[in-house]
Amino acid sequence: MAKVAVDFDTLKVLGERGREHGSGGAVQHGASTLPEEMFNKFPEVETLEIHLATGFMNLFMDHPAFPADLKSAIYKYLDKTATGERKATDSDAQFYYKTRKKSLGAYKPEMWSLPADVHQELYGALEKQFEFFFNMLNIVDTKDLVDQLVTVVEYHQPAPKSARGVGDDLGLAD
């Protein structure tokens, strides 16, 4: 993993200029790879959006509770379906790291039906990470503000066929 630097002064200026022209501000892509001590800087420079999905996926799939057999199956799947994306210089770890997001759809039923104890460990770790980001990004206790600005539109559709009955013991079905 490369060491990443963020120019917060530039991020602040870009956000200000964007807002002058009707945009919400600047977006930080790839923030999952940043050191945790940087995250409190984003609210200071009024960053509009911070992309963290890769970090959450890494926390989930690299957690000791994630089933080794499932990870092995996912990697075999990637060896077959994403082989064209592998560079000659990629190690297995690099290849799997950058392509494993492509396996989530194919293995959604297996991930949704993890045993309750595994589910609790994995989602507990995610919850702690969300709590960390909520604190660092200064978005704790903002429900009233969100309620003022966002109109919720309810939308219901049946669970996908592959997920019906999955997670019933965890209260996740439908």
With cut-offs at 50, 70 and 90, classify the pLDDT of residue 174. very low
pLDDT digits 0-9 by tens, 2-61: 566 789 999 999 999 999 999 999 999 888 888 888 999 999 999 999 999 888 999 999
Q: How far is CA 101 from the centre of its chain?
A: 10
Task: Compute the C-alpha angle 44/3/126, nearest 5°.
Answer: 65
Q: Which amino acid is at 143?
A: K
